[in-house]
Structure 1
Amino acid sequence: MSRFSLLAAMRHYAGRIRTIRNEIRTERMLGSLSPQMRADIGWPDRYGRRHGFDG
């Protein structure tokens, strides 16, 4: 494995970790909103459909 492909793989991995952390942070923030506010923005209905969940 060349030096550049190793760096590219590490960069990709770091990007995935960053994405997962951002999603968790967003879910936590949305979960802290009142039920009425979540219903107004469609949480968790839109999230579930986007990620393939039924409910």
Structure 2
Amino acid sequence: GGWRTMANGEQRTVNGEWRTAKGEWRKVNDTWQMTHGKWQMANGKWQMANGKR
């Protein structure tokens, strides 16, 4: 695991891009979340936007 900053400024996993059923992950306000906004990573832990894990 771990993040790598690409030349274009995007961050991806060391193994490559995120691939999900509903869009790619993106960094928004210092948190990683899906483009649909369902899941997000805050403080290094994945959790749903509504606060449930």
Q: TM-score, normalised by structure 1?
A: 0.19
Higher relative contact order (CA 8 A, sep 6+): 2
Structure with the greater alpha carbon radius of gyration: 1
**Between structures 1 and 2, the one with greater strand share:** 2
**Between structures 1 and 2, the one with greater helix share:** 1
